[in-house]
């Protein structure tokens, strides 16, 4: 079945399976082709969930001694996972390669770096990551970088510095997508002020539904209409549910609140209302968080969200745009620049 014929072709913006494999399996790649109870993600679950494209995060924490080296190790691990299962996965760097993978019944595997610390403040490293197929970089993770404020940092810069604007400009020049998840609202706004290409939020939700610093304010969502970008709604309970966030803040005492697929759908619908249906997507953050809503407990469960949205009156065209069509458009808009940079086998 071709991409255009699929009812809910999921291209998810953020999955931390490579880091989970590093932490719990010694960076091993075996076993992903069978059901793994300890993982949110394995090949059978991906197939059951209708996932046709996945951005694999090559994340490393901000406190690792050598973040550039560690990120390169994660890029290598992601490549080894893809190469280990050629019947199911294939490396994709462009929208055309995503569509070709889907037509070949393989899951298009894209790479995304999570946090500007990964480049060591070196634009040559940024370009090398692009050559290795890294398709986006999140400007910050949980801590500020020397040139951009994080959502959960101390905000020393008031947003994006001049050096940060240089990083954004170079990312756009080489076709690497600027990812604004994890950034402060001022960093989001400063980036949109200078952006000439569509941006993404690879795994964020909406402040209006849950006032959490990791979520996106309405004024930023509205600017995605002119920018052409996409906010990819995440499933992490503390970003989705105010009750869950308050429970965590109070020390996680007693039974946690129940977070449901309906709570996630509320964020999806709010983002559609403010940004428009052409500017929304999905970024579950599977294997990057210890707990998820039971309705969405692993990557096999995307159809549950689709069914909830159908129940709320969503039509086929809007569902396909949300699932993967919108982020595929953003890729296509920047493909030519990226293809000039990426190494082609």
Q: In the annotation, is 249 catalytic? A: no
Whole-angstrom distance, CA of residue 212 vs CA of residue 182 = 11
Whole-angstrom distance, CA of residue 179 vs CA of residue 172 = 11
Q: Which residue in this structure is represented by tokens 């290598």?
A: 76
Phi-psi region of 30 (alpha: psi -120 to 50; beta: other; left: phi over 0): beta
Q: Of 20, 149, 263, 285, which one is the catalytic site residue? A: 285
Q: What is the DSSP string of 2-52?
A: -GGG-SS-EEEEEE-HHHHHHHHHTT--TTTTS--TT-S--HHHHHHTTEE
Q: Which residues pair with 57 in a beta bridge?
A: 112
Q: Of 114, 269, 287, 308, which one is the catalytic site residue? A: 114
Q: What is the DSSP string of 270-332?
A: HHHHHH-GGGEEE---BTSSS---GGG-SGGGHHHHHHHHHHTT--HHHHHIIIIIHHHHHHH
Total residues found in the chain within this entry: 345
Could you give the 3-state DSSP secondary structure of residue 160? strand
Q: In the annotation, is 16 catalytic? A: yes
Q: Of 12, 16, 149, 308, which one is the catalytic site residue? A: 16
Q: In the annotation, is 267 catalytic? A: no
Q: In the annotation, is 14 catalytic? A: yes
Q: Of 40, 79, 117, 141, which one is the catalytic site residue? A: 141
Q: Of 40, 79, 117, 203, which one is the catalytic site residue? A: 203
Q: In the annotation, is 117 catalytic? A: no
Q: Are strands 280-282 and 230-233 parallel, antiparallel or unpaired?
A: parallel
Whole-angstrom distance, CA of residue 89 vs CA of residue 27 = 18
Q: Of 14, 79, 117, 279, which one is the catalytic site residue? A: 14
What radius of gyration, in Å, describes the C-alpha atoms of the chain? 18
Q: Of 182, 267, 270, 279, which one is the catalytic site residue? A: 182
Residues designated catalytic = 14, 16, 114, 141, 182, 203, 285
């Amino acid at each position: 079945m071709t991409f255009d014929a699929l009812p809910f072709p999921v291209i998810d913006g953020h999955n931390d399976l490579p880091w989970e494999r590093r932490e719990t399996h010694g960076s091993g790649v075996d076993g992903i082709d069978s059901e793994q109870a300890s993982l949110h993600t394995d090949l059978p679950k991906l197939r059951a969930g209708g996932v046709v494209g996945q951005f694999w995060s090559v994340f490393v924490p901000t406190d690792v001694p050598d973040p550039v080296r560690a990120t390169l190790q994660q890029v290598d691990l992601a490549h080894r996972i893809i190469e280990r299962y050629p019947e199911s996965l294939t490396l994709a760097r462009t929208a055309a390669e995503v569509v070709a993978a889907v037509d070949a019944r393989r899951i298009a595997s894209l790479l995304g770096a999570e946090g500007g610390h990964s480049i060591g403040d070196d634009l040559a490293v940024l370009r090398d990551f692009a050559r290795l197929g890294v398709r986006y970089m999140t400007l910050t993770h949980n801590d500020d970088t020397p040139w951009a404020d994080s959502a959960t940092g101390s905000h020393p810069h008031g947003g994006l510095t001049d050096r940060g604007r240089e990083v954004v400009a170079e990312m756009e020049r080489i076709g690497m997508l600027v990812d604004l998840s994890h950034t402060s609202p001022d960093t989001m706004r400063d980036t949109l002020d200078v952006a000439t290409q569509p941006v993404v939020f690879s795994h964020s939700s909406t402040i209006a539904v849950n006032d959490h610093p990791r979520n996106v304010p309405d004024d930023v969502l509205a600017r995605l209409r002119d920018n052409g970008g996409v906010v990819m709604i995440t499933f992490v309970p503390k970003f989705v549910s105010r009750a869950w966030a308050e429970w965590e803040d109070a020390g996680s005492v007693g039974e946690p609140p129940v977070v449901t697929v309906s709570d996630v759908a509320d964020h999806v619908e709010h983002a559609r209302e403010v940004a428009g249906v052409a500017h929304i997507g999905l970024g579950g953050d599977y294997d990057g968080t210890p707990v998820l809503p039971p309705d969405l407990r692993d990557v096999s469960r995307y159809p549950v969200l689709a069914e909830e949205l159908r129940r709320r009156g969503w039509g086929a065209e809007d569902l396909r745009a949300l699932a993967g069509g919108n982020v595929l458009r953003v890729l296509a808009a920047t493909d030519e620049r990226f293809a000039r940079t990426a190494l082609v086998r």
